[in-house]
Structure 1
Amino acid sequence: MTETIAPDEQHNFETFRDCFSEPVLKALSKPIDKPKKKKRVPRKSKDGKTRVFRKEEKAETRHAVSTEDDETSAEDLGEFIDYLSTLIFPSLPPDLRTLSYSKYRDNANLQNRYSTPLATSTETHLLNLIPPPALDSLSSYALLPSPPDPLDLHHFFTPVLSSYIATATAPPPIWSSTRTSACELCARDWIPLTYHHLIPKSTHDRVRKRGWHAEERLNSVAWLCRACHSFVHRLAGNEELARGFYSVELIVGGGIDGDSEKREVVEAWIRWVGGVRWKSR
């Protein structure tokens, strides 16, 4: 039986659920095989005449999502994420469930306890609180081995907890006036949003030096759900994002060169993740 979320913890619960969903969606989005076209290879036959044969090349694997039974699988996955989040979140300490920017800023104990990267003692304590039914469910989906060892739990849950803490304690962004009501990729409007630097900050010095963009474009952002935000960073490296994917339209269109493979991958992702929704609360 899942726990009931207290009204004053609802906002943080939604943030936690979004952070928790990101590794689950990443792990369960399936790679698909796309065979390359057969290559025409000239060869000489025994009679000395040149003939053209088609040579089968190795299949190329690209990251995309399975489109089989998309609607059903997305709905089931949304319920799975919602169920596990409702199991795990209430098991966290009360001060973590109600964490906020102002509380964190004004409380040295919270800063010592929940500064990231998490101290080993804090991490161990939090991982030990995760309910066994949640671990069993993750094992049944092959997201964790059965039984998971401490290193397995560290690799899966520590990024989730760190992401939740960073989001819950983040100050209001200076771009809050540009905030949209829905993710600019998947269009889900019932999910927390994060801001994605369309020109990654790590590339700004190079962008200025090479003159790739005007100074006023450097801090432009798109508002994306966490799953789409992570997907964009898997789609291309920071420099490639800065040069060819510096708008939502370019991301959807496969970059400045209109790469058809990337465009198909983005379209498949949007179709699939757009169907993943939580139960209404």
Structure 2
Amino acid sequence: MAERIPPDEQSNYETFRDCLSEPILRALAAPVENPKKKSKKKRASKRGKNGETRLEEMGADGKADGADGESEESAAEDLGEFIDYLSSIIFPSLPDAVRTLSYSKFKDSPHLQERYSTPLSAPCATESLNTIPPLAIDSLESYALLPPTSDPTDQHNFFTPLLTSYISAATSPPPIWSTTRTAECELCGRSWIPLTYHHLIPKSTHERVRKRGWHTEDRLNSVAWLCRACHSFVHRLAGNEELAKGYYLMELIREGGVEGEKREVVGKWIRWVGGVRWKSR
């Protein structure tokens, strides 16, 4: 049964929920690799045809399974409730120190720094993984986000990056671009979830950008504020160099690049993920 989140942990809970939503949305948006095998569990685990994604099978494109806009909205709403439910049973099970992490606590505590610096040590990751309720594992298996009867390795591969992402977010100092922060994700428009900053010209490309003269110096540190799901989506959309050359403005990202070659992909993502939300707690 889901537990009520204490007020002093609410902010971290929302951060954790956002971190959890990112791998789930990424997994459901990925093309299905094996079209022959079919699951008898939830529709999210069905196998598609011709590279169809699980989102499309759930009605995420407004067409799959004969669905229309209403089924698209219903699928997004169901998934939002699933993410909220899953977060509400996993987060309270985490160690107290993990649930209450903050930048100020972390920087003032050598013990916390030793224990929870990323990448997480094997003992720290194992301790946290051992607290995950079996009900959460069963739920992830029902959505084919973990294989049936998943072994510890499968669970480690899912939960350790999630915990790392959450701990990094909870202990990070306020970014120097905080004054540019928007009230909603600049891609999907959701205003009820935490935001991250995305370097519109990836930092790893700055030296090459300068040498090739792709952009002026004043543009190099421009950022956009995106939810984690959209942030991850943008980095799946193109490699860093391609992002620097063709996606260096939010307008270009929304249009699918300079040539508009990925406009349909971006549009489909925005329509679908924009409807994934959770109820206020």
Q: TM-score, normalised by structure 2?
A: 0.87
Q: Where does residue 41 of structure 1 map in the other structure? A: none
Task: Please state whether the residue corresponding to 1:10 is helix, strand or coil.
Answer: helix
User: In structure 2, do the counterparts of structure 1 residues 62 and 74 end up closer, same or farther at CA, with 3 Å as the change threshold?
Assistant: closer
Q: Which of the pair has more CA radius of gyration?
A: 1
CA displacement 1:204-243 (0-9 Å, x = unmatched): 1101111111111000000000000000000000000000
Is 2:187–2:270's contact at 8 Å kept on the other side of the alignment?
Answer: yes
Give the aligned residue type for 2:270: I
State which of 179, 184, 187 in structure 1 corresponds to 2:186.
184
Q: Where does residue 23 of structure 2 map in the other structure? A: 23
Residues in 2 aligned to 1:244 and 1:162: alpha-carbon distance in whole angstroms: 30
Task: Please state whether the residue corresponding to 1:223 is helix, strand or coil.
Answer: strand
User: Is 1:4 matched with 2:34?
Assistant: no
**TM superposition outliers: structure 1 runs of 4+ over 4 Å:** 59-65
Q: Compute the displacement of 1:7 (Å).
A: 0.3
Task: Please state whether the residue corresponding to 1:148 is helix, strand or coil.
Answer: coil
Residues in 1 aligned to 2:136 and 2:54: alpha-carbon distance in whole angstroms: 27
Higher share in strand: 1
Is 2:28–2:53's contact at 8 Å kept on the other side of the alignment?
Answer: no
Q: Where does residue 273 of structure 1 map in the other structure? A: 273
Is 1:64–1:265's contact at 8 Å kept on the other side of the alignment?
Answer: no
Q: Compute the displacement of 1:178 (Å).
A: 0.5
Residues in 2 aligned to 1:12 and 1:130: alpha-carbon distance in whole angstroms: 17
Give the aligned residue type for 1:88: I
After the TM superposition, which of the residue ranges 63-72 and 21-30 deviates more from structure 2?
63-72
CA displacement 1:77-121 (0-9 Å, x = unmatched): 000000000000000111110101111001000011101111111
Q: Where does residue 247 of structure 1 map in the other structure? A: 249
Q: Where does residue 109 of structure 1 map in the other structure? A: 111
Q: Where does residue 216 of structure 1 map in the other structure? A: 218
Alignment of 1:125-140 (within 5 A): 125-140=127-142
Q: Where does residue 90 of structure 1 map in the other structure? A: 92
Task: Please state whether the residue corresponding to 1:112 is helix, strand or coil.
Answer: helix
- Please provide the CA RMSD for this pair: 1.6
Give the aligned residue type for 2:220: L
After the TM superposition, which of the residue ranges 143-152 and 183-192 deviates more from structure 2?
143-152
Alignment of 1:112-191 (within 5 A): 112-191=114-193
Instruction: State, as a whole percentage, how many aligned pairs show the same letter.
Output: 70
Give the aligned residue type for 1:190: W
Is 1:64–1:268's contact at 8 Å kept on the other side of the alignment?
Answer: no
User: In structure 2, do the counterparts of structure 1 residues 268 and 64 end up closer, same or farther at CA, with 3 Å as the change threshold?
Assistant: farther
Q: Compute the displacement of 1:258 (Å).
A: 2.1
Give the aligned residue type for 1:280: S
Task: Please state whether the residue corresponding to 1:31 is helix, strand or coil.
Answer: coil
Task: Please state whether the residue corresponding to 1:185 is helix, strand or coil.
Answer: coil
Q: Compute the displacement of 1:174 (Å).
A: 0.6
Q: Where does residue 14 of structure 1 map in the other structure? A: 14
Give the aligned residue type for 1:151: T
Is 1:250–1:256's contact at 8 Å kept on the other side of the alignment?
Answer: yes
Is 1:64–1:269's contact at 8 Å kept on the other side of the alignment?
Answer: no
Residues in 1 aligned to 2:253 and 2:209: alpha-carbon distance in whole angstroms: 18
State which of 193, 196, 215 in structure 1 corresponds to 2:195.
193
User: In structure 2, do the counterparts of structure 1 residues 218 and 99 end up closer, same or farther at CA, with 3 Å as the change threshold?
Assistant: same
Give the aligned residue type for 1:198: L
CA displacement 1:22-42 (0-9 Å, x = unmatched): 01011112539xxxxxxxxxx
Residues in 2 aligned to 1:258 and 1:142: alpha-carbon distance in whole angstroms: 33
Is 1:27–1:143's contact at 8 Å kept on the other side of the alignment?
Answer: yes
Gaps of 5+ in 1: 33-58
Residues in 2 aligned to 1:63 and 1:201: alpha-carbon distance in whole angstroms: 31
Is 1:31–1:65's contact at 8 Å kept on the other side of the alignment?
Answer: no
Task: Please state whether the residue corresponding to 1:199 is helix, strand or coil.
Answer: coil
